């Protein structure tokens, strides 16, 4: 029996993404089709004040770090002390390419730029 799709159910990965072995570290997030720049891939992190930290979704849990990333985090909801972040592509991602974030993008780099 095939389940009926309901748009109100949480979907951990959008169509066009898959988790598989990464040359960067363990498992990574990969495009199964071309994804255009400025595409919102979905919710990745939720800052929850009661636990003094962040909850990562499946999307946020598998995206690896790279100095020259192809995605960035964007705050989409700021309610009280709760923050919701989405991963957004910063450039076109080709089929088979790994999606990456610079985990330290808001810090001063300790490596030469250029």
Question: Does residue 59 lie in a domain region?
Answer: yes
Question: Does residue 109 lie in a domain region?
Answer: no
Instruction: Specify the pLDDT at position 114.
Output: 41
Threshold 0.95, pTM exceeds: no
- pLDDT tens digits for range 60-109: 889 999 989 999 988 887 677 788 889 999 999 999 999 999 977 665 54
* Cα–Cα distance, 104 to 95 (Å, whole number): 26
Query: In this structure, are residues 93 and 35 in contact, taking their beta carbons and an 8 Å threshold?
Result: yes
DSSP secondary-structure letter at 50?
G
Question: Does residue 9 lie in a domain region?
Answer: no
Question: Does residue 110 lie in a domain region?
Answer: no
Buried b (16+ CB within 10 A) or exposed e, 56-72: ebbbbebbbebeebbbe
């Amino acid at each position: 029996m095939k389940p009926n799709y309901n748009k109100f159910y949480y979907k951990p990965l959008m169509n066009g993404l898959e988790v598989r072995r990464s040359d960067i570290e363990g498992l990574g997030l990969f495009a199964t089709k071309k994804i255009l720049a400025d595409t919102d891939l979905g919710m990745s992190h939720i800052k929850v004040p009661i636990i003094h930290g962040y909850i990562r979704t499946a999307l946020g849990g598998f995206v690896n770090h790279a100095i020259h990333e192809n995605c960035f985090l964007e705050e989409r909801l700021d309610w009280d002390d709760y923050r919701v972040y989405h991963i957004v592509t910063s450039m076109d991602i080709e089929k088979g390419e790994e999606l990456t974030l610079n985990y330290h993008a808001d810090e001063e780099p300790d490596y030469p730029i250029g």
